[in-house]
Structure 1
Amino acid sequence: MSVEENNKALVRRFVEEVLNGGNLDAVDELMAPDYLDHTVPSGKYAGREGHKRSLAKQLAASSDLRFHIEEQIAEGEKVVTWVVGSGTHDQERFMGLAPTGERITIENIIISRVVEGKIVEDRGVRDASHVWQQRLQRERIERERVEQEMRLARSIQQASLPKEVPTLEGWQIAPFYQPAREVGGDFYDFLELTDGRLGLVVGDATGKGVPAALVMASTRSMLRAVAQASDYSPGDVLSRVNDSLVIDIPSNMFVTCFYAILDPNSGTLRYANAGHDLPYLRRRGGDAEELRARGMPLGLMPDMTYEEKQTILEAEEAALLYSDGLVEAHDPNGEMFGFPRLRALIAEHGEERSLGDFLMEDLYSFVGEGWEQEDDITLLTLRRSASLS
């Protein structure tokens, strides 16, 4: 048998015993102690021991990986081998990819130099494009799934928001809602109650996407049903909604909610709060007061009670209800917009434009160009006119 045939047989033996048989001990017999693999960056798997570690990782990725030689030629010390491997990626990570359970195919063209019955070096090219095509396909499918879920979540949320803003003589009511790309659980609502009173709601269901949208829609429906069923106070409404919600809401979710009832004739605003960010009341003199009332978020525990408070909005005074997407926005340096800034802006706000527009203008200036909105932003402003009826 010629030298070339012996060298080809040695490489074939490597394929059968090491690649197909998984016998890594045979590497020491078939490869020289100073073996070098030139197909990888120097120092990573260049030597014989490093090559064995690389082979072990490759073989551990599949339970049925098999290699076969498509073609082989030899001249002198050099053997060129076209070897193709295929198997199910069902075990360990491969090429940085987690197991998928799909078939993978790897093509290798390896130039081996054989000296005195030992492989002393390899140079080669690996074609694993099939693996990457599978990854790209999975990523495309996942992107489509996420986009579809976001469209569904956005449609649920949009369907749950009021179509019209109530008109009350002597009052200006201005909602503002700006969703983030990944829809959150923000909502607001207006409830027409007896004796011309108006219920005002701002809330936020934890989480993103469809789960948050569904919990938000369910909470809104419960609020409407309870508030309009009888002459319940704000605290009673939140307590009853909480007891209904806690039965069905996923254990890792909850809803924050501020609910107030406005008597437009007297300007009385009676309210309760289920763990929501504290609204602000801008007095005519320029002070910004927090509307404080204690209460746990909805859906955490049954049998909760909610403290009730009340205040009176005089002429030219305004209340702001909002979600955390406003105060938790960050500038390019990572600084948060924050409550102190919001309170100061409310206090300095003049009457030449709406409070909501004033706040959003300052927010855009704060976050700068290229801002990627992290969460939904909801504002609901309620202002009493200068002239009292």
Structure 2
Amino acid sequence: MLLIPLLAVFPALHNVYFAFQPFENVGWVLMAGCLLLAAYRRGNKECGLLLIPLMCVPLSTLLDQAAGPFPRFTELVMGLHVRGVGISPSYIALLLLLGGLLAVILMRFIRISRDEEIAAAELEAARTVQQLLIPPSSPATPGFLVESVYLPARQVGGDFFLILPAPDPTADLSLLAVIGDVSGKGLQAAMVVSTIIGGLRMQISRRPAEVLARLNRALTGNVSGFATCCAILLHSDGRAILANAGNPSPYCDGEEVPTLPGLPLGIAPEITYDETTFTLASGSRLSFVSDGVVEATSFPNKELFGFDRTRAISTQSAAAIAEMACAFGIGAPQADDITVLTIIRE
């Protein structure tokens, strides 16, 4: 039943279409101009270069249509010839549009190159700062043998560790060690690491639970993301006090040290952390690893290094553990930072 009305209306629609067909491209060009203008107002300044040549397209369409009843109108308006051949406004508009496109491509290339140079300089500055905050060698630790390896997956890493001997070695031979991992990658994670290391160096208390609580309050609401962290206080007589905030548990002589669970830092301000106490015998080795060791992935079967392999090699030196994790992932890009910290009570 609807076919008869449609057949009756079709001739009229057909005539309307052909009446406005000369201006069909004008609508599309105006729509594209609005989109370019919106992009320009949002900060893409290169799009502004295309507005002028783009507006020449509807103008050239109007001039070409005016050339019908007025054959000399186009030539009088434009007045351009190449070797005696007149150039229509459409050709000129097309040349302007192509020139604008080339200008946009060139300007975007220059801007992207400049932004990449700035980003590279910022990453290099962050890497330099991080090297100062996380030195390659540990400070003197009387009564303990400390070894560390830090292999960031990128120019700057999100892992961190810090060794803090007692302020007065003559009165106290204790050792505070902190190791952790910041969520995210790149420059943002490196800035959070700098905040954490700075906060650790200003710590007054050496109790692991209080250290984590203070760091948690400092990070919550001030940085994006979160951080896992493990803190341990070792005394010269072997007494060890450990608190954990979501970091992989350490290993002692090849066995995992049971730790009480705790939420990562930076999630909620009023979190408290429980402490685990144990005795580290003379000659025993504590091994701390980041998740970059556990999550090292082999190529091409994509098998994880895993906790069993990590526990099996935890009696090795820090350099050997890191080397085995890297060798396991040969052929695949290093997905995460690898940090290993070992402490032997002498």
The match for 1:297 is: 264
Pick from 292, 309, 315 the counterpart of residue 276 of structure 2. 309
Report SS of the residue matched to 2:118: helix
Answering whether residue 339 of structure 2 is matched by residue 378 of structure 1, we say: yes
1:299-343 deviation line (CA, Å, top 9, x unaligned) = 221221111112223244311112222223333333333323312
C-alpha separation in 2, matches of 1:162 and 1:365: 24
Report SS of the residue matched to 1:240: helix
Q: Do the aligned partners of residues 372 and 149 (structure 1) sit closer, same or farther apart at CA in structure 2, a change above 3 Å counting?
A: farther
Higher helix share: 2
> Deviation of residue 57 (structure 1)?
7.3
Answering whether residue 153 of structure 2 is matched by residue 180 of structure 1, we say: yes
Contact 1:176–1:380 (8 Å) recurs in 2 = yes
Q: Do the aligned partners of residues 183 and 169 (structure 1) sit closer, same or farther apart at CA in structure 2, a change above 3 Å counting?
A: closer
> Deviation of residue 249 (structure 1)?
1.8
1:141-190 deviation line (CA, Å, top 9, x unaligned) = 22112212211221221121146424445532101112222423221111
Q: Do the aligned partners of residues 59 and 72 (structure 1) sit closer, same or farther apart at CA in structure 2, a change above 3 Å counting?
A: farther
State the AA in 1 paired with 2:98: E
The match for 1:238 is: 212
C-alpha separation in 1, matches of 2:136 and 2:82: 76
The match for 2:199 is: 222
Pick from 43, 66, 76 the counterpart of residue 55 of structure 2. 66
1:272-295 deviation line (CA, Å, top 9, x unaligned) = 01121222222xxxx422442322
Pick from 228, 235, 252 the counterpart of residue 263 of structure 1. 235
Report SS of the residue matched to 1:302: coil
The match for 1:111 is: none
TM-score, normalised on structure 1?
0.63
State the AA in 2 paired with 1:83: I
> Deviation of residue 58 (structure 1)?
4.9
The match for 1:83 is: 92
Report SS of the residue matched to 2:98: strand
State the AA in 2 paired with 1:215: V
Q: Do the aligned partners of residues 249 and 62 (structure 1) sit closer, same or farther apart at CA in structure 2, a change above 3 Å counting?
A: closer
C-alpha separation in 1, matches of 2:157 and 2:182: 7
Contact 2:142–2:173 (8 Å) recurs in 1 = no
The match for 1:156 is: 129
> Deviation of residue 363 (structure 1)?
2.0
State the AA in 2 paired with 1:383: I
Q: Do the aligned partners of residues 54 and 181 (structure 1) sit closer, same or farther apart at CA in structure 2, a change above 3 Å counting?
A: farther
Give the share of equivalent positions with the same residue, in percent.
31
> Deviation of residue 30 (structure 1)?
5.2
Q: Do the aligned partners of residues 83 and 218 (structure 1) sit closer, same or farther apart at CA in structure 2, a change above 3 Å counting?
A: same
Pick from 119, 124, 135 the counterpart of residue 146 of structure 1. 119
State the AA in 2 paired with 1:191: L
State the AA in 2 paired with 1:342: T
The match for 2:188 is: 211
Q: Which runs of 5+ in 2 are unaligned?
A: 1-16, 38-50, 61-77
Contact 1:106–1:130 (8 Å) recurs in 2 = no
Q: Do the aligned partners of residues 303 and 62 (structure 1) sit closer, same or farther apart at CA in structure 2, a change above 3 Å counting?
A: closer
The match for 1:364 is: 326
Calculate the aligned-residue CA RMSD, in Å.
3.6
Higher strand share: 1
Report SS of the residue matched to 2:56: strand
Report SS of the residue matched to 1:62: helix
C-alpha separation in 2, matches of 1:258 and 1:85: 65
> Deviation of residue 365 (structure 1)?
2.2
TM-score, normalised on structure 2?
0.70
State the AA in 1 paired with 2:284: E
Contact 2:181–2:290 (8 Å) recurs in 1 = yes
The match for 2:246 is: 275
